[in-house]
Structures are given as structure tokens and as C-alpha cells.
Amino acid sequence: MHNAVANYLHFMCAALVKFRQTGAIVPSQRFLIEKMIAPVPETYAGRIIELGAGNGALTLRLAARCPEARILACEINPALARVNRHNLDRAGINGRVQVIPDSAEHLLSEMDRRGQGKADYVLSGIPLGNLRSDRVFAIVDAVSRALVPGGLYIQFQYSLMDRKKIRTRFQAVRTVPVILNVPPAVVYYAQK
């Protein structure tokens, strides 16, 4: 219980300092996390990229659900990235989850430039609604390049305002509401 309270406090402090980066004042709850990870098979053994990993609420659940997967968790806020790594270490999850304190655009462009392979799944909690339109398109373009053909981009938001931007790069987009999350959210499933 103490660890959960500490995680919430770390996240809230980071959100208060850099709300435009964080996009929320509390980490994702289990209802949202379950919708985000549902399409990833428990037996999946490939690469998963998580963008906007925050304090690791989704990272931990994804790593537990998919014990054979290699997860690359990207978090622009170095304090949250440290908390994420600490939470993974406390849970005994190391080696197959790498936490990178960097921007999504930079990480994905570097992976593309170096030819470091593509992923079947990109999960994102980046608050697209807080970003300029050109940055949203840059992120969505980079995600598209990072996915294999048929790969799945899973993005959650607290509004529908960026759905058209995602549809410009992904023709098959399904939107699912998560009413029980606080605040209510939507999850986009966009297939390449």
C-alpha cells in the first residue's frame, strides 16, 4: 500500500511540474491498462514499444502479462523514468524491460536511423491533445515507421480530438471508450 501511495505522489508531483508532458494528474488505472494491453497475446515473445510510460503502471502489467516479450519503455520525464525502473526492479522484472528517458520522437527516429528493427505493438500514453499539431503528426508518423506491416498502434487519450490525425496515417482505426477510468478515456486501436 505504501508503494502505491508513493507512486501516486511521484506521478502527481511530476504532473504538476510538467502537465503538458504528463497529460494527467494520476497514473492510468487498471480498467484503462487492461484495454491497452488486451490485444497483446500473453504468449507474445517479440518487441513492444511503450511511449509515455510514466511511472510504469502499464509497463509492470504488460511485463507480467507477457513474460517472453522484450519491452522498450520510453518516458521523457527523467524522474518518472527512474520511478518506473525502480518499480520494475522491485517487482523483479529486469533484463527484458528497458526504460529510456527520452522523447518518443527522438527514440523512434534513432531506432529507424539505426535500422534496429520494427515492433508488432506500440502502446502510447503520450498526451497528444497537449501537443501542437505538427508534433502529433511527427509522433504518429514515427510510430507508423516503427511498426511492421499489420502492426498495432494502441493510443489512449481523454478526448477524441486527435482521432482524425491518427486516421491520416492508419486507415483501420477503432475507438473504444473506457468509462470506468478516472477521468474517462478512449483507446484507439490503429492497425498498419
pTM of the model: 0.85
Q: What average pLDDT does the segment 81-93 reach? A: 94
> Could you please report the per-residue DSSP string of 2-66?
HHHHHHHHHHHHHHHH-HHHH--SSPPPHHHHHHHHTTS-TT--SEEEEES-TTSHHHHHHHHH-
- Residue 96's CB is within 10 A of a number of other CB atoms, namely 15
> Could you please report the per-residue DSSP string of 124-143?
E---GGGS-HHHHHHHHHHH
Which pLDDT value is given to residue 23?
A: 45
Alpha-carbon distances, residue 156 vs 92, 107, 111, 174 (angstroms): 27, 20, 23, 12
Is the model's pLDDT at 162 over the cut of 80?
yes
Is the model's pLDDT at 62 over the cut of 70?
yes
Q: What is the CATH number of the domain that holds 84?
A: 3.40.50.150
Q: Map residue 120 onto helix, strand or coil.
A: strand
Q: How many domains does the chain divide into? A: 1
Q: H or E element: which one contains 187?
A: strand 185-191
Is the model's pLDDT at 52 over the cut of 70?
yes
Would you place residue 95 in the very low, low, confident or very high pLDDT band (cuts 50, 70, 90)?
confident
Q: Map residue 118 onto helix, strand or coil.
A: coil
Average pLDDT of the chain to the nearest whole number: 88
Which pLDDT value is given to residue 94?
A: 74
Give the structural domain span for 48. Answer: 2-191
Give the whole-number percent of the chain exceeding pLDDT 70: 85
Higher-confidence residue of 59 and 5: namely: 59
